[in-house]
Amino acid sequence: MLYSQPYILLISFILIIFFLQIGIPFEEKTRKYINYLIIIVYLLFFGFRGFIGWDWYSYYPFFNSLNLSSIDTSFYDIGFVYYTYIIKLVFNDYNVFIFINSLINIILLYIIFNRYLPQKYFALALVIFLSFEGIKFEVDLLRNIKSVFLFIFSIKYIEKRNFFKFLLLNICGFLFHWSSIVYFPLYFFIYKKINIKYLIIFFIFSNVIFLSQIEYIKPFFYYISNLFFKNKIDSYLNNSMFGSAYGITLIYIEKLFISMLIFMYYGYLSKTRINVILINSFFISIIISFLFSEIYIVVARLSVLFIYSYWLLLPILIKNSRLSRPVLILFFVLFAMLKTYRNTNYVMYKYDNVLLKKCDSYQDRKKVYLMYSKEISNGRS
């Protein structure tokens, strides 16, 4: 069964809108209405989704067990718990909770893309968002997505050197997910332009480390495990889901290609502070991916915090590369399709919608979840 088909159809629809937007000289007001149509389709697709992905398994019982008389913040971050509490207080329905999440997400995305891109590039930016971890953020990472969006909003205050407003937004993000603590130090250096020679040298160095598969982190963690949390650390490092190296994959080729594009257009891109911030963010993700590749869980948990650089930098690159724009658009369209297929073509992403008459119940999907999780843990998937 082609589980990815609904997602590919959604991507295809948005891409058709994008090609119409760049091919026809619509008025700005018309472009806005067209983008509102995209938002409605996005909401119909994700806002009314059934139990797809992974984290519904824990979010559904959390929502239903949330006690309105006494709030327990021991399991999830306090900001997310109170956010969920407020929604449940007004709409005591998990499906409404999911819809409100998707509504907030797409509104924030629209504001973000509208801040840095022309209206006609909203559709392309949305496709890049969805294909570069956006689907995972939307359906699984309900807490992370709010903290990442709040950081993106705080980039404005990195540019303007307003530490108080930057701090305020990221404290809010921290209350949704603790991983936002990574963003706090960025205020002090991420806006600084780096000489391209140093970027290239470090890029080559990190590639050599990555391709040589030199293990220097695992031995350190094994040593630490002898002192603290031995069973937990050893289980992570020895589990193929968490401890295996990336190797040369589609992700590696993707990072290599985008890096080459950034080097080609670095002189032009680095003229604005926002682009410098995005470029530095991208290369932080490169450092994490290449230098920590021997431990998958480090790459998965940390590099995703900087995926916003893709969402904004790639549309900006395409918009400003006039000579090679058709080639870049074709490449990223094909790449988006391929990534969407790879990310969603398994049973946990079997699409379901509560507006349909036959929508799987929580118990039905729970059986699939447990069965598929068991297959993964046994190494058969």
The per-residue pLDDT for range 31-46, each reduced to its tens digit, is: 999 999 999 999 999 9
pLDDT for the residue 249: 78
Q: Residue 74 is part of which domain span?
A: 5-354
Count of structural domains within the chain: 1
Specify the 3-state DSSP secondary structure of 353. strand
Q: What is the mean pLDDT of residues 139-148?
A: 95
pLDDT for the residue 223: 63
Is 360 part of a structural domain of the chain?
A: no
Structural contact between residues 364 and 353, judged by C-beta atoms closer than 8 angstroms: no
Specify the 3-state DSSP secondary structure of 133. helix
Each residue's pLDDT tens digit, 194-205:
999 999 999 999
Is 374 part of a structural domain of the chain?
A: no
Q: Using alpha carbons, select from 114, 124, 112 the residue that is nearest to residue 318.
A: 124
Q: Using alpha carbons, select from 108, 17, 118, 2 the residue that is nearest to residue 333.
A: 17
Is 324 part of a structural domain of the chain?
A: yes
pLDDT greater than 50 at residue 380: no
pLDDT for the residue 227: 60
pLDDT greater than 60 at residue 239: no
The Cα–Cα gap between 259 and 264 comes to: 9
pLDDT > 90: what percent of the chain?
70
Q: For the chain, give the mean pLDDT.
A: 89
The Cα–Cα gap between 100 and 48 comes to: 10
Is 348 part of a structural domain of the chain?
A: yes
Question: Residues 1-13, buried b or exposed e (16+ Cβ, 10 A)?
Answer: eebbebbbebbeb
Whether pTM exceeds 0.85: yes
Is 373 part of a structural domain of the chain?
A: no
Query: Phi/psi class of residue 161: alpha, beta or left (left: φ > 0; alpha: ψ in -120 to 50)?
Result: left
Tokens of 164: 């108080």
Is 366 part of a structural domain of the chain?
A: no
Q: Give strand pairing partners of 49.
A: 353
Is 203 part of a structural domain of the chain?
A: yes
pLDDT for the residue 381: 41
pLDDT for the residue 224: 66
Is 180 part of a structural domain of the chain?
A: yes
Residue with tokens 């993000």: 173
Give the orientation angle of helix 308-320 with respect to helix 122-129, to 10 degrees: 140
Specify the 3-state DSSP secondary structure of 49. strand
